[in-house]
Amino acid sequence: MNDTHFLQYYNQYPWITSPRGLMPKWSFSNGFSTAYKQLKNIGDFIWLKSGDEIPINSGNLYVSLQYKEDGLDKLIQKAIENPDMNITIGGPHFHTDLNRDFPSNITPVYDKSVEEHFNIKYSPDNWGLELPDGFDDIGYNFSLTHTNMDCYWGKCKYCKWSLKLYKELPVLKIPIIEYPSHKYIGLKSAAVPPNQMRKLLVDLPKRDDVSYNFYMRANETSLEMLQDTLPKMKTHNLLISIGVEFPSNMMLNYMNKGTTKEIIFEVIKLLSNYEDVRMHLSFMLGWGNLKWDYVYEAEEWLDNLNETVNLNKITMVLYRLFILKGTRIFYNTPTTSVKETKYGSYFCILNDEQQQMDNYLRTLYYKYFSSRILDYYNDNRHPHEFTRNKESWTTENQMS
């Protein structure tokens, strides 16, 4: 038996909701796939469901762990019971409680992809995935950039992804794993830049049994690219994720989203004309700087959207705003009370009036998207929330 193992997790953490319910049924956090061809020469792959007992008691265990603190408890227990084991846990989206202690035979690797950790050059040719037996309705991931932690825009104030290491992969080789049921492929990157999206729309294999999901910015360049490319689009079964966050121009400006509510509206309207394209919009609540004007602006935008497009084709995800330490997000509005989370970032404490505005918006979102909402407001696993890369933090700690 090999004394090195790579542990990945599957779960039922849904990607989207649809008239079919939550989809896909199973999703794989296939963090080792990007270096699969190198790693399979080193050890064996194991799939577990988060919280399962770990069937290995010796040797080296590398674990791709994200958003899974229950998996972490099992790993710590395993390390204590087997002091000769060496366990390395990490991944680009791995985070833990800042005060958490690890046994000495656990090495946590924060904010790093497996290629970076093993010093493997990222290439789509290294990609591979061994599926556990007996699964159907599966979603898995394929990366479009050499790290999933950087964005070609990289300027949104609340987001930890920056332009720093952003590198688009030159080749498009999206692997389709053949199994009988529908396949959902998450094309992983921060926002896909318009030139890469143009290639995706034209080059992705068109298959009835495959859906693709990627995330784009709804800005002016994307709008122009879509106007030009959508009529020539060859693929179908697309689910496009778009960060709306808050449809008010002042709020978008605070966030530095680099777009306006009008442009976002036009992008959604254009995409909604295509039968094979569905959209998954994200909105954020939990702002400490709202004014009723911004709230009514958002309401008007939603009303117009409802009158213009078929919202039944659109699903949404609701997040809470988390702010990285040292980020100035609200500019010249009054200082906001914030509270530090155990992961080292902050959320706004809402006073009564801010809470009223928050509730008002929540009611609106539920009015228009009802059962098509994935509501993560109370879930601290917001991907923008965590970072352990303290070097990137500033010493400034003002939230004004």
Instruction: Tokens 């529908």: give the residue.
Output: 182
35: helix, strand or coil: helix
Contact window for ligand SF4 (CB under 6 A) among 146-154, 195-203, 348-356, 360-368: 146-154
Q: Of 71 and 243, which CB lies nearer to ligand SF4 in the complex structure?
A: 243
161 interacts with ligand SF4 by CB under 6 A: yes
Q: Least CB distance from residue 282 to ligand SF4, whole Å?
A: 9
Segment interacting with ligand SF4, rule: CB under 6 A, options 155-163, 176-184, 294-302, 359-367: 155-163
Kindly state whether residue 190 participates in binding ligand SF4, applying the rule CB under 6 A.
yes
Q: Which of 14, 103, 124, 154 binds ligand SF4 (CB under 6 A)?
A: 154
Q: Which is nearer to ligand SF4, 282 or 341 (CB)?
A: 282
Nearest distance from C-beta of residue 370 to ligand SF4, angstroms: 26
Closest approach of ligand SF4 to the CB of residue 161, in Å: 5
The token duo for 30 is: 């296939």
In sequence order, what DSSP letters do the residues of 310-332 get, joined into one string?
-GGGEEEEEEE--B-TT---STT
Q: For the segment 286-305, give every residue that binds ligand SF4 (CB under 6 A).
A: none
Contact between 156 and ligand SF4 per CB under 6 A: yes
On whether the CB atoms of residues 67 and 28 are closer than 8 A, the answer is no
**For residue 108, what is the DSSP state?**
E
Which CB, 129 or 279, lies closer to ligand SF4?
A: 279
CA angle centred on 349, ends 344 and 354, rounded to 5°: 145
Q: Which residue, 38 or 259, has its beta carbon nearer to ligand SF4?
A: 259
Alpha-carbon span 46 to 63, nearest angstrom:
9
Q: What DSSP element (H or E) covers 261?
A: helix 261-272
For the segment 365-394, give every residue that binds ligand SF4 (CB under 6 A). Answer: none
Q: Which is nearer to ligand SF4, 6 or 161 (CB)?
A: 161
Of 7, 159, 290, 309, the residue at the interface with ligand SF4 (CB under 6 A) is 159
Q: Draw the binding track, 102-141, toward ligand SF4 (x: CB under 6 A; -: no contact).
A: ----------------------------------------
Q: Kindly state whether residue 243 participates in binding ligand SF4, applying the rule CB under 6 A.
A: yes
Count residues binding ligand SF4 (CB under 6 A).
Answer: 11
Are the C-beta atoms of 22 and 10 separated by less than 8 Å? no
Q: How far is the CB of 20 from ligand SF4 (least distance, A)?
A: 27
User: Is residue 218 part of the contact set for ligand SF4 (CB under 6 A)?
Assistant: no
CB 252 within 8 A of CB 158: no
The position carrying tokens 């989203």 is 257
Tell me if 136 sits within 8 A of 180, measured CB to CB: yes
- CA dist list (Å): 164 to 31, 154, 196: 21, 8, 19
Residue 282 or 356 having the CB closest to ligand SF4: 282
Give whichever of 5 and 257 is closer to ligand SF4, judged by the CB atom: 257
- Spatial separation of the C-alpha atoms in residues 170 and 369, rounded to whole Å: 37
The answer to whether 125 and 118 are in contact (CB under 8 A) is no
Candidates 191, 210, 263, 350; binder of ligand SF4 (CB under 6 A) is: 191
133 contacts: CB under 8 Å, gap ≥ 6: none
Pair 318, 365: CB distance under 8 Å = yes
User: Segment near ligand SF4 (CB under 6 A), from 11-19, 111-119, 148-156, 283-291?
Assistant: 148-156
Alpha carbon 291 to its chain's center: 29
End-to-end CA separation in angstroms for the chain: 57
**Would strands 238-245 and 210-216 be described as parallel, antiparallel, or unpaired?**
parallel
Q: 138 vs 216, which CB is nearer to ligand SF4? A: 216
Closer residue to ligand SF4 in complex, CB, 155/328 = 155
Asked if residue 217 binds ligand SF4 (CB under 6 A), the reply is yes
CA-CA distance, 322 to 342, in Å (whole number)? Answer: 12
Q: Could you tell me which of 110, 114, 141 has the C-alpha nearest to residue 35?
A: 114
Nearer to ligand SF4, 43 or 286 (CB): 286
Note whether 151 binds ligand SF4 by CB under 6 A.
yes
Binding interface with ligand SF4 (CB under 6 A): 151, 153-156, 159, 161, 190-191, 217, 243
